[in-house]
Amino acid sequence: MTPLMKLVKALIVFLLCTPMAFASVSSTDDFDRVLLGKNNKDKETAIEWLVANQPTEKAKPILRAWLEGDLFYYKDKKSEAYQKLYIIAGRNGKQADSIWDAEQLTVSRSRDFGKVRVNNKLRSMIRMQLASLGLNSPDPAVRLQAANGLLGQTDDEILERITAQLSVEQDPQVQDRLQLALAVSKAVDSSESTQARIAAVETLSEYKQAIVLQTLNRLQPQALDPELSAAVEKGLDKYHQSQRFYSGVETVFFGLSLGSVLVLAGIGLAITFGVMGVINMAHGELIMIGAYTTYVMQQLFPQQIGVALILSIPMAFIISGLVGIAIERSVIRHLYGRPLETLLATFGISLILQQAVRSIFSPLNRSVSTPDWMAGAWELNPMLSLTYNRLYIILFCALVFIAMVMVLKKTPLGLQVRAVSQNRAMARAMGIRSERVDALTFGLGSGVAGVAGVALSQLTNVGPNMGQAYIIDSFMVVVFGGVGNLWGTLVAGLGLGLFNKLLEPWAGAVLAKILMLVFIILFIQKRPRGLFPQRGRAAES
């Protein structure tokens, strides 16, 4: 046998005896083995198998952990977990979670685990699969999330998947987002015809997602066909116009929410100041008591935050109202007709209430939790989101205002309050006990202040000094709207809130506040009785 024949024979024997590379993946064990190998082609096959054969909730964490360097294998040959794959979250993770089952290992020594390697090509493929993962999900929300992840992708394979999904997609939102993804890819693809790119740009200009602005800005500096360049400029102008419009809507919303806070803070003061002529400097502390009532209720019902918040509304009204009646009966009733002494006395009471709260709850601020149904935002479109807590504040303000109007217009107490506010001597002559009306009126105004504290606890921290931040604003709202006039308080509160928020973008928060104060001073010089003057003791004096 010649040497050549011997070499060929030996080569055949070697090939027959050497196990062939097993590139296919048909099980989880195959997946684990391939990822520990060095053949990147096999790893690409493993990724495709994982996406095609495993549910999204299983495949997505594995791919994300691999991409972020959190996928490891166990190195100890003596253990049953040898070469099994685990996810270890973070560099200092103390727990290893199996990717296939609920098995967990404690990471006592980091050298017991080896990291599953990944190169740039595999990273690109993993990102692509993560982006397209979920397009075949039966859940429209999952498909919509997947479509959002595909925005801006220009890979041919991804575009093929988008096109295929678009042909069978039934959900309008998902269809809309897939069309946007295709329009982005066509707009930036220089191989497309000019007319196709112009059509894609015109389609983009109808959307309000951030990717639209990024794509048009990317096209703008390029040397484009004049028609395409004009379409890009037109699209940018339309996008910026929409931005300005929705920014204005958002400013109005913030102004209404701030105005609602001012109305809530001032409506109780409008009742007491208008009827009794009392300058109550402790009004802010009554708001604070309502906020602390909310905090206490949440401590009593720690597992039911929403229920605690709802129960806080009547409790805050009762507690603040009782404190207000106690203040009126013990101090204020001796000082009627002496506004300066009343101011000083109520200022002293405010300091006493602040110190009492510090002694009971400590000087530190307390955080009041927000229920789940008040968290997050209502997204009308990608340019406009309205936070739920501010929406609820506006709604709550409207309900409180309607309740106060109904009390003053439809109840015997309201009739007596209006009679005393218009002519105290005549009301007494008609048999109305003005002292009782004064006490109940002060309690009503104090109770509404407590309810305002419940609302404010959802916007800011609860602390001993929180009332001081609203006392000046409350007086501004009452004086600007007209002493004792609820409709004036509503218009003044919402108007000042809008005025403040419209000024803030170009004047800043501090200067906007100063300009608002200057405006009120000048307005009072011209109309000392406010927007809606009311006849009564306070107005006449």
- pLDDT per residue as tens digits for the range 62-74: 888 888 888 888 8
Instruction: Note whether 97 and 144 are same-domain residues.
Output: no
Using alpha carbons only, how large is the chain's radius of gyration in Å? Answer: 35
Q: Which residue has the higher pLDDT, 108 or 281?
A: 281
**Domain count of the fold of the chain:** 3
Q: Which residue has the higher pLDDT, 144 or 150?
A: 144
Asked, for residue 240, whether it belongs to a domain, the answer is no
> Which of 89, 121, 153 is the endpoint of a domain?
121
Tokens of 77: 């040959």
190: confidence class by pLDDT, cuts 50, 70, 90: confident
Residue with tokens 């024997």: 13
Query: Does the structure show a pLDDT above 50 at 21?
Result: no
Instruction: Note whether 271 and 329 are same-domain residues.
Output: yes
| Residues 40, 158: Cα–Cα separation, whole Å | 21
Asked, for residue 11, whether it belongs to a domain, the answer is no
92: confidence class by pLDDT, cuts 50, 70, 90: low
Tokens of 275: 């009827």
Asked, for residue 214, whether it belongs to a domain, the answer is yes
What pLDDT is recorded for position 374? 87
Query: Does the structure show a pLDDT above 50 at 132?
Result: yes
342: confidence class by pLDDT, cuts 50, 70, 90: confident
Structural domain for 73, as ranges: 22-121
What is the pTM for the complete model shown?
0.73
Instruction: Note whether 298 and 390 are same-domain residues.
Output: yes
Asked, for residue 403, whether it belongs to a domain, the answer is yes
Q: What angle do CA 508, 513, 515 make, to 5 degrees?
A: 95
State the average pLDDT over residues 437-446.
Answer: 87
Instruction: Note whether 79 and 34 are same-domain residues.
Output: yes
What pLDDT is recorded for position 42? 85
Q: Where are the beta strands (DSSP E) in 350-500?
A: 377-381, 384-387
Asked, for residue 16, whether it belongs to a domain, the answer is no
State the average pLDDT over residues 436-452.
Answer: 89
- The CATH number of the domain holding residue 398 is 1.10.3470
| Amino acid (one-letter) located at 197 | R
| Amino acid (one-letter) located at 388 | Y
Asked, for residue 87, whether it belongs to a domain, the answer is yes
| Residues 242, 102: Cα–Cα separation, whole Å | 50
SS3 117: coil
Asked, for residue 267, whether it belongs to a domain, the answer is yes
* Mean per-residue pLDDT of the chain: 83
Query: Does the structure show a pLDDT above 90 at 17?
Result: no
What pLDDT is recorded for position 18? 38
Asked, for residue 290, whether it belongs to a domain, the answer is yes
